[in-house]
Every structure is written in C-alpha cells, then in structure tokens.
Amino acid sequence: MGRITIFTSASCGHCRRAKATLESRGFEYSEVSLSAHPARREDMTALASRVTVPQIFLNETHFGGNDDLERRLREDPDLFDEEVRRALTMPDPKDARLRACAFGEGSDDDDDLSFLSPPREARLG
C-alpha cells in the first residue's frame, strides 16, 4: 500500500492545517517531525529542494507544501481525492528517506528500524 509522508515541525501552523486537511478527507499519513528528529531535515531538503515545512509526498513524488495542498483542493477536490487514492494503491516508497521515524532515532548506533512509528490514522467523524 502506498503512503503519504509529511515532514513537519511542532510549532508550524501550516503543518497543523495540512495534517487536519488530510485527516478531514480520510487520508492516513506518516509524519516525520523535524522537531523530534532534526537530522531528518537533510532528507526533506534533498527530496523536496525546499527548506520550509510542511513538505508532503505521495509515495516518492513530492506534492508540495500546505499552500499547494490548499490550492489543489480549491481547483478540484474530487480529482485530488482520486489522485491520492490511486497513489495509495501503489507500493510503499522504497526511498529510505521517506520512512517513518524510528523510536530513539538520532543516536549514532540506531540502525534498528524494527520499531517504526505507525501511520497516523485519519479521524472520521
């Protein structure tokens, strides 16, 4: 199954809005918190060629930030939903930089990825 990955920061209002938007549309995502895992910023910058958060990926395709998300939803929300659903039927991204953060990540000897953070589930209401 494919994956939405979102690089975020704890104090970022755009990040909170992007996550709320995805959740409101029923989409689960994997979050990479740069506040908790600052070393992952290099991954985000290399993948997105941008330094601001949030940065959203559909599998290995860079989607953009919250402004891009809001613009796409204004233009054609049904097409957006269809594209995301189609992406989620594809295999998970193979690029290790798009993996969820491992618990305790950041230590030099942390190569054990057996305890990955699960995708955040959408709240349907």
Q: Which of 96, 92, 85 is nearest to 32 (CA)?
A: 96
> pLDDT at position 38, please?
95
What element of type H or E holds 7?
strand 4-8
CATH value at residue 57: 3.40.30.10
pLDDT at 34: 96
CB 77 within 8 A of CB 70: no
Please give the Cα distance from 69 to 29 (Å, whole number). Answer: 14
Per-residue tens of pLDDT for the chain, all 125 residues = 899 999 999 999 999 999 999 999 999 999 999 999 999 999 999 999 999 999 999 999 999 999 999 999 999 999 999 999 999 999 999 999 998 776 555 433 344 443 345 566 555 44
The domain tally of the chain equals 1
User: Quick check: is 72 in a domain?
Assistant: yes
Write out the residue range of the structural domain in which residue 28 sits: 4-98
Residue 120 inside a domain? The answer is no
pLDDT of residue 99: 86
List the beta bridge partners of residue 33: 8
